[in-house]
């Protein structure tokens, strides 16, 4: 069993420590061996001229990362982070810690942490210098149909895809975390030992505080629709308030069953039957057979390069990795550093590079097991050059002026992210979700499991927008057993063969641009990790035609952006980019201050 979890956060205020002497790192190159693995080459391919390593920040830096010598965990919830650090201290590796964090967040961050959702995990195996992509995304039930989210008049039925049983995809989280542990865990800690801290928190109860206390009043109507959910999150006729205790006994029992019997206990037998019954009673089409048939997919990560750094990220059915690299390819032709961080010139170029990527996303991306995605073409630097040439440095292009490009000739909120690095250099970037905050709000009776509404990530019809405003096509149409398209972007950055950065974020359609800006802030603008995560962000996704900007940019900058033709909207918070950077002899961690209760900690 894991020991006490009372760990002090790593202290980061001592400027005598070299915070950001960028430990050179480069990405794995062409895949060798099994298709799901990528092995770094002995010598990196020729890359564009690299900038000097990120400099050490002065002791006057306003925002500093947490520091640790051996292991680091950055997540959206402090109790889960401390559980991960405890696992590392007991000799577990990064995968062990990530699995423990993933189960803990199902208890402490019910808005997004989950057993009833799904996601994506990247694992870096330091001893083999290989990267593995684990796809545990939800799937459509076998009774799903292409028109299941259309009204009689042929228009999308948004309530059907977000609020009822039809919205629930077959969950993959339990199978995904267990498979990661089976394949890549250290062998020192059993799955039961990694689940035990989560079970204890669920059974003994957690204080309603931080982000949990903030979120519950906002979703009282959603949760209050379901008697099984009211029994957990309500105290009488109101949601549990700040300072009260949230006990989740049914969830604790489910966690204990998984610990004792393994992941099959979630996908077959009483738990699966209760989940399917809850979905069916809510108007859905899921059956116990759908759960029994769920399988994790191991995939080949996508790769790119940016100013001498190498980017490794999640492949389809996530759109995140492809379009992160596509946008970086476009940006590589601009001198962002010369423009300056937060300048109207650099923000304009960022926004203009985002637009065509999202137009391509709407046209080409889907489940790679069902549609052919032109991955090589979309990642091509030659294709990026054609997109870059269409950017006017002085004037924004309206959405109507942008269409999906032609990459084919080159072919041969609520989610949460956590990052983990261990003493051996193994790393995990994991992003998983229920889609909306608390999913559809329904707890399957007797399980404690909140159910997702991931089916909204399919295209209800070609050209229709989902709840995040993302436009879909036939490539992402609903089909039995199919995985819906995602924007989740767990990402590694390497330099000179060594891991440099582990990052990712929640945020729906904003995930890609959040990860993008963390990378650009580090590489182009020489920020330390905490500054890179904290800096104000922008987002443009082609449609709707709006440049979303966080608070913190100067009125003068906003005026200049509007003068260039950008329809600026101010105020939207973007993501929670909990990140870890590997330095010379140290690990730096940064939890995103946009969410309460986040923590980066290590030892």
Give the H/E segment covering residue 73.
strand 72-75
Closest CA to 576 of 428, 450, 432: 432
The arrangement of secondary structure in 72-205+247-602, i.e. its CATH architecture, is 4-Layer Sandwich (3.60)
CA distances from 398 to 104, 509, 546, 571 (A): 44, 19, 9, 21
pLDDT the model gives residue 387: 96
* 320-331 and 511-523 helices, crossing angle to 10°: 40
- pTM, full prediction: 0.90
* Binding-site entries: 137, 433-435, 457, 486-487, 508
Separation between Cα atoms, residue 97 and residue 279, nearest integer Å = 32
Q: Which residues of the chain have pLDDT under 50?
A: 1-50, 55-59, 410-412
- Pick the catalytic residue from 131, 363, 415, 431: 415
* Binding-site entries for L-glutamate: 137, 433-435, 457, 486-487, 508
Buried b (16+ CB within 10 A) or exposed e, 168-196: bbbbbbbbbbbbbbeebbbeebebbbbbb
Owner of token pair 């359609």: 509
CA distances from 315 to 112, 312, 367, 524 (A): 22, 9, 10, 25
pLDDT the model gives residue 280: 98
Neighbouring-strand partners of residue 486: 318
Please indicate whether residue 229 is annotated as part of the active site: no
Closest CA to 164 of 391, 488, 516, 442: 442
pLDDT the model gives residue 530: 97
CA atoms within 13 A on the CB side of 534: 15
pLDDT the model gives residue 474: 85
**Across the chain, what does the average pLDDT equal?**
89
Pairing of strands 579-582, 498-503: antiparallel
Separation between Cα atoms, residue 216 and residue 221, nearest integer Å = 10
pLDDT the model gives residue 597: 92
Closest CA to 356 of 315, 311, 323: 323
Neighbouring-strand partners of residue 548: 539, 569
Show the CA angle centred on residue 480, arms to residues 478 and 484, nearest 5°. 45
pLDDT the model gives residue 49: 43
């Amino acid at each position: 069993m894991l020991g006490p979890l009372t760990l002090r956060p790593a202290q980061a205020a001592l400027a005598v420590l070299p915070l950001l002497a960028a430990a050179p790192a480069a990405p794995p190159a062409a895949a060798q061996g099994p298709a799901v693995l990528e092995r770094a080459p002995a010598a990196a391919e020729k890359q564009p001229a690299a900038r000097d390593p990120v400099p050490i920040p002065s002791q006057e830096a306003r925002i500093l990362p947490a520091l640790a010598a051996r292991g680091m965990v950055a997540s959206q919830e402090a109790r889960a982070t401390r559980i991960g650090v405890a696992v590392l201290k007991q000799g577990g590796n990064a995968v062990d810690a990530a699995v423990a964090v993933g189960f803990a967040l199902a208890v402490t961050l019910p808005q997004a942490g989950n057993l009833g959702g799904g996601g994506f995990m990247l694992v870096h195996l330091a001893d083999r210098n290989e990267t593995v992509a684990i796809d545990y995304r939800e799937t459509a039930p076998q009774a799903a149909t292409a028109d299941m989210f259309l009204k009689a008049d042929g228009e999308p039925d948004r309530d059907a895809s977000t609020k009822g049983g039809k919205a629930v995809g077959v969950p993959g989280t339990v199978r995904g975390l267990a498979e990661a542990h089976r394949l890549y865990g250290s062998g020192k800690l059993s799955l039961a030992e990694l689940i035990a801290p989560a079970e204890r928190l669920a059974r003994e109860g957690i204080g309603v505080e931080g982000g949990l206390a903030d979120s519950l009043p906002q979703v009282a109507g959603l949760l209050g629709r379901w008697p099984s959910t009211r029994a957990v999150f309500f105290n009488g006729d109101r949601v549990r308030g700040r300072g009260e205790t949230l006990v989740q006994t049914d969830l604790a029992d489910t966690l204990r069953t998984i610990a004792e019997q393994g992941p099959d206990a979630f996908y077959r037998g009483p738990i699966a039957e209760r989940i399917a019954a809850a979905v069916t009673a809510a108007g859905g089409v899921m059956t116990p057979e759908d759960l029994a048939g769920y399988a994790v997919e191991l995939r080949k990560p996508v790769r790119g390069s940016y100013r001498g750094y190498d980017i490794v990220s999640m492949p389809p059915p996530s759109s995140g990795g492809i379009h992160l690299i596509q946008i970086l390819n476009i940006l590589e032709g601009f001198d962002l550093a010369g423009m300056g961080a937060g300048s109207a010139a650099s923000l304009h170029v960022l926004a203009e590079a985002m637009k065509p990527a999202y137009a391509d996303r709407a046209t080409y991306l889907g489940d790679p097991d069902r549609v052919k995605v032109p991955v090589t073409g979309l990642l091509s630097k030659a294709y990026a050059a054609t997109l870059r040439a269409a950017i006017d440095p002085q004037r924004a292009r309206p959405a109507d002026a942008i269409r999906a490009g032609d990459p084919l000739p080159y072919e041969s909120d609520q989610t949460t992210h956590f990052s983990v690095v261990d003493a051996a250099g193994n790393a995990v970037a994991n992003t998983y979700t229920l889609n909306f905050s608390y999913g559809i709000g329904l707890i399957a009776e007797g399980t404690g499991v909140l159910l997702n509404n991931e089916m909204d990530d399919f295209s209800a019809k070609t050209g229709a927008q989902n709840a995040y405003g993302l436009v879909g096509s036939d490539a992402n149409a609903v089909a039995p057993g199919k995985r819906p398209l995602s924007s989740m972007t767990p990402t590694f950055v390497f330099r000179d063969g060594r891991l440099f950065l582990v990052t990712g974020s929640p945020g729906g359609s904003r995930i890609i641009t959040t990860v993008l800006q963390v990378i650009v802030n580090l590489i182009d603008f020489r920020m330390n990790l905490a500054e890179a995560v904290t800096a104000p962000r922008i987002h443009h996704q082609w449609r709707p035609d709006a440049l979303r900007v966080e608070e913190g940019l100067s009125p003068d900058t906003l005026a200049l952006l509007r003068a260039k033709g950008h329809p600026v909207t101010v105020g939207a918070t973007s993501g929670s980019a909990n990140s870890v950077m590997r330095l010379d002899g140290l690990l730096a961690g940064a939890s995103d201050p946009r969410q309460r209760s986040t923590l980066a900690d290590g030892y």
